[in-house]
Structure 1
Amino acid sequence: MRARKVLVATVAVLLAATTTAGAATTSSQHDAGRFDRPRQGFAPASTTLREGEPGDVGLDKQPIRDAEQFLKSWTQPDASGHPHFSGAVGLLAHDGVVVDRYAVGGALRYADANGTELPPGQQVPMRDDTIFDLASISKLFTSITALQLVDEGKLDVNSPVVRYLPDFGVHGKQDVTIEQLLTHTSGFDADPTPSLWEGYPDIPSRRKAVLDSPLKNAPGSTYLYSDLNMLTLGFVVEKLTGQPLDQVVHDRITTPLGMADTGYNPPASKLGRVAATEYESDPPRGLVRGQVHDENAWSLGGVAGHAGVFSTASDLAVLCQTILNGGSYRGHRILRPDTVEKMLTNYNERFPDDSHGLGFELDQPWYMGALSSPVTAGHTGFTGTTLVIDPESRSFALLLTNRVHPTREWGSINTARQVWATSLAKAMAVRPVVGRDAWYAGPGDNATVTLSTPPLTSRSGSLHASFHAFVDTEGPSDPLQLESSVDGVNWQPVSLHATGPGAPAGSVTLLSGHGHRAWWQVSADVPATGVTTLRWRYATDANYTGRGISLDGVKVTERGRTVLDGERNPSSLTSSGWQLSAR
């Protein structure tokens, strides 16, 4: 296996450290509820989920309550005349505690594709135990079963697929590897063309069409998310186990973990708990409920490597905690710790915006929100489902919606995905470095906030500014700057020097970045003659924000003489969009 840079400080640990009692993976109580204290290694394998309140693990409940209200608002019609989604179930967990469950809206709400609401007596509300079509989150189950075979020595991720499926080797695919299927770098186009349900008369011909699919790009040359990768991997799993994929998932994942409501093709006895999806006329399926929404998976009998799994928030919570535990839950191990590490290690360094482990997507702020970091893992589903696992805080966020009910045309729910994950990040504390509070700003998209000194008089021609900064933003497009002005109108950037984990090297005028979760010590020498005003300006673009920025210990000196001490006298600073916060 070629050498790779392992981005995951929290999971790139020695195997012994994840299995030996008293090792570094043991959770420290003082780290609970802290966003600025990233954990090392996996959680203890003995960690089991329990119900609790945010305050039980040091979380602030208000960001979570605010996110609940946001989800509720999105189940109500807006200016478009319809809501963003019919209903949702959200679950948040931190340090082994389920701190929030929230159900809102309808599991069954509409009678047709036009959004005609059913009579109230025929509607079905969302509940904690509503069963959702997970869509592409199903890919995680296929990936796990494949990696279980790796653990057993039956599958080698570096081997070509043709070693296991000889018929796959047509159209120049002989060099495509199992790893490339898992990381979406095989070269496949996004979907089968023509679609399986339209172009082929039966399941055998559809399966053959998958194996016969040509490549769009050379293997390993491009990242392109493709259902064909997981369809193929599902066939590999079936070939090596001698069982259909649904049976493999049942025997190797859901039964050991006690995920009783998870599987393909839910039985009729559970139909009343299943969230409806789309009203389809092409193909003419009518209202889809209890059958997989994805047409290609439907054409394969509801069992496919890329889609088809149904589950609840509670069952998925067990799967998330299993990953945080390094592959084990309640004494049942489904993966070795070093194999889980491979799921959480970036194999796509050549494609910076498309970080991917062996199964999980990594560092995707468009749905991970402020939980996003180089080590954060997750996946989404077309039906409106989202799973985010943050090993550094031992947390996860689940948001399950039926956003395609009654139609897929009602738009994106990515903002809701971000808001829900971000609420958990903001519920965790970033404690001040000095004193009882620090200046905090988390302004959201398309915003600018400033924190300014009064006019400062310099006698020597130079001022020295120093401060601590906790910077968690989208990246360079959402920077923090220190600026100076002699007239309060025209501002000039000031060069900064920062030290600490993840800090930029050398002299910079912009501070940005996410995922390091550590305070930086920052200093600057400011050319100043006569009267000079300083301000800290944080500006965001139209997309994505991190948890925000905190400033602490702000101080300005001149040749050792204190000109401004923001810690002792915070009222000397003028805030526009910043607030003093103890967390």
Structure 2
Amino acid sequence: MILFDLVVNVLALSCRSHLVSGKVLKYGTPGSVGMISWSFVQLEKKISAHLIPENYSSATYNEIHPVYPGATVMIGYQSTIVSHFAVGEVIRYANENGSELENLEKISAKLGTIYDLVASLSKLFTTILALQQLERGAIGLDCTVSTYIPNLLASGQDVTILQLLTHTAGFDADPAPPLWTGYASYNARRQAIITQGLMTMQIVLEIVTGLTFGTLLERDFTGPLRISDIFFNPGNLALDTSRIAATEFQAAPVWGTVHDENAWSLDGVFSTAKDMGFFCVRILKPQSVDKIFTDYNTAFPVHEHGLTARHMGFTGTSMVINRPSNTSMILLTNRVHPSRNWSSPNIARQMVGYWVRKALGFNE
């Protein structure tokens, strides 16, 4: 199966299993689609429990912290949203040391809270737009990147579009390449999961379309789907924070601007949980979906993900779709507020998967 940064499989699964009749997302009860409602009651309780500062072992690095200050969760089954809830606060702390704001100064997380998706989840937009240009014949998987960027560094002249999209371009990781020289083998270096490949793909897309990436996203993705809460922040300007979750403290809380250092110059991507669910709308041709499920990386068998597609973002965001069960799981948190060193949200990600599985009727 082609990786395309793993998360593009989300789109592929959507095309194959979700909304094949072109319907839009709608709300419904778990029982209306044959799922167990009690499991989602338990899921909300468990997600809420992680707001409490405790020692969650490795999840909080053996320190006493909450796993996140706020979260919004959305679970979908085919075209039905069966669970959608928000817990905690989008801003909770007054400084990087974790001093809490007065209650009146805190802002609760809501269903429509906008989260910074960070560089890692922004890759899925790059991949989708790349597949659309592939459909239109503007790019080719086997074409070298230097076809579109003639001044590409000499060491990357043989890199293809396919290699950019499958994390096999062999680019050095960031931010300091000398720190990343200890690869076990050349192949290990060639399959390194880093951001430079998709960042280079973004440049290719801007060259072949003549549009900025944000404009291209609006023209070919958010516009056709009529969604407004997935957007870039051109110039990384301060946005209205009334609906946006705060992230890490620097000189002040990063709030309404891009958190990820690697995305500062790329405007960043922001979204609500519901608008992330619109990836379940079919916008690719079946032939493109077939390419996504073709394994172009047989040399790297550990990267096969035929049943479940997933991707995570550094700020605490994640998106998962399980192909056999037709379920999608979106967990958006601001776990880096007030510090990236406080916690990992993996414990919550696992909890979402566990209770969705229970809702489908599976035992332990």
Structure 2 unaligned regions, length at least 5:
3-8, 56-62
Give the drift of 1:96.
Answer: 1.3
Alignment equivalent of 2:143, drawn from 154, 159, 170 = 159
CA-to-partner distance for each residue in 1:237-273, whole Å, 9 max, x for gaps? 1111111111111111111112201111187664210
State the SS of the aligned residue for 1:310.
strand
- Distance, in Å, in 1 between the alignment partners of 2:156 and 2:142 is 14
Amino acid at match of 1:310: F
Residue in structure 1 matched with residue 159 of structure 2 by the alignment: 176
1:347 aligns to 2:296 (yes or no): yes
- Distance, in Å, in 2 between the alignment partners of 1:344 and 1:292 is 32
Alignment equivalent of 2:261, drawn from 292, 295, 299 = 295
- Distance, in Å, in 2 between the alignment partners of 1:343 and 1:407 is 36
CA RMSD of aligned residues (A): 2.5
Alignment equivalent of 2:88, drawn from 105, 126, 145 = 105
Alpha carbons 2:66, 2:343 under 8 Å: kept: no
Cα 1:269–1:235, aligned 2, differ >3 Å: closer, same or farther?
A: closer
1:138 aligns to 2:103 (yes or no): no
State the SS of the aligned residue for 1:278.
coil
Alignment equivalent of 2:67, drawn from 78, 84, 91 = 84
Cα 1:350–1:63, aligned 2, differ >3 Å: closer, same or farther?
A: farther
- Distance, in Å, in 2 between the alignment partners of 1:270 and 1:343 is 37
1:401 aligns to 2:333 (yes or no): yes
Alpha carbons 1:57, 1:95 under 8 Å: kept: no
1:57 aligns to 2:48 (yes or no): no
Structure of greater Rg: 1
Amino acid at match of 2:132: Q
- Distance, in Å, in 2 between the alignment partners of 1:233 and 1:218 is 22
- Distance, in Å, in 2 between the alignment partners of 1:273 and 1:398 is 18
1:47 aligns to 2:23 (yes or no): yes
Q: TM-score of the superposition, structure 2-length normalised?
A: 0.87
1:124 aligns to 2:100 (yes or no): no
- Distance, in Å, in 2 between the alignment partners of 1:347 and 1:120 is 53
Amino acid at match of 2:301: P
Alignment equivalent of 2:195, drawn from 212, 227, 245 = 227
1:286 aligns to 2:252 (yes or no): yes
Give the drift of 1:221.
Answer: 6.6
CA-to-partner distance for each residue in 1:316-349, whole Å, 9 max, x for gaps? 0111x12xxxxx2xxxxx3212213333444333
Amino acid at match of 1:124: I
CA-to-partner distance for each residue in 1:261-302, whole Å, 9 max, x for gaps? 11111876642100000002xxxx42101111111221x1x4
CA-to-partner distance for each residue in 1:446-467, whole Å, 9 max, x for gaps? xxxxxxxxxxxxxxxxxxxxxx
Give the drift of 1:47.
Answer: 2.8
Alpha carbons 2:239, 2:257 under 8 Å: kept: no
State the SS of the aligned residue for 2:320.
strand
Cα 1:412–1:344, aligned 2, differ >3 Å: closer, same or farther?
A: farther
- Distance, in Å, in 2 between the alignment partners of 1:405 and 1:221 is 32
Amino acid at match of 1:150: L
- Distance, in Å, in 2 between the alignment partners of 1:422 and 1:343 is 27
Residue in structure 2 matched with residue 259 of structure 1 by the alignment: 227
Residue in structure 1 matched with residue 242 of structure 2 by the alignment: 272
Larger RCO (alpha carbons 8 Å, 6+ apart): 2
Give the drift of 1:168.
Answer: 1.2
Aligned positions of 1:355-504 closer than 5 A: 355=304, 363=305, 374-429=306-361, 440=363, 442=364
State the SS of the aligned residue for 1:179.
helix
- Distance, in Å, in 1 between the alignment partners of 2:351 and 2:293 is 23
- Distance, in Å, in 2 between the alignment partners of 1:220 and 1:174 is 20
- Distance, in Å, in 2 between the alignment partners of 1:190 and 1:72 is 36
Alpha carbons 1:110, 1:116 under 8 Å: kept: yes
Alignment equivalent of 2:214, drawn from 228, 241, 246 = 246
- Distance, in Å, in 2 between the alignment partners of 1:256 and 1:220 is 39
Aligned positions of 1:199-214 closer than 5 A: none
Alpha carbons 1:180, 1:219 under 8 Å: kept: no
- Distance, in Å, in 2 between the alignment partners of 1:237 and 1:295 is 22
- Distance, in Å, in 1 between the alignment partners of 2:18 and 2:86 is 30
- Distance, in Å, in 2 between the alignment partners of 1:344 and 1:131 is 31
Give the drift of 1:99.
Answer: 0.4
Alpha carbons 1:50, 1:96 under 8 Å: kept: yes
Residue in structure 2 matched with residue 316 of structure 1 by the alignment: 276
1:69 aligns to 2:45 (yes or no): yes
Give the drift of 1:109.
Answer: 0.7
State the SS of the aligned residue for 2:355.
helix
Cα 1:218–1:152, aligned 2, differ >3 Å: closer, same or farther?
A: farther
Residue in structure 2 matched with residue 453 of structure 1 by the alignment: none
More helix per residue: 1 or 2?
A: 2
Q: Percent identity at matched positions?
A: 38
Q: How many residues align?
A: 340
Alpha carbons 1:344, 1:377 under 8 Å: kept: no
Amino acid at match of 1:313: A
- Distance, in Å, in 1 between the alignment partners of 2:357 and 2:252 is 40
Give the drift of 1:192.
Answer: 4.0
CA-to-partner distance for each residue in 1:476-511, whole Å, 9 max, x for gaps? xxxxxxxxxxxxxxxxxxxxxxxxxxxxxxxxxxxx
Alpha carbons 1:42, 1:391 under 8 Å: kept: no
Structure 1 unaligned regions, length at least 5:
3-7, 13-17, 19-24, 26-40, 196-213, 323-327, 329-333, 356-362, 364-373, 431-439, 443-583
Q: TM-score of the superposition, structure 1-length normalised?
A: 0.55
CA-to-partner distance for each residue in 1:414-436, whole Å, 9 max, x for gaps? 12101112321221135xxxxxx
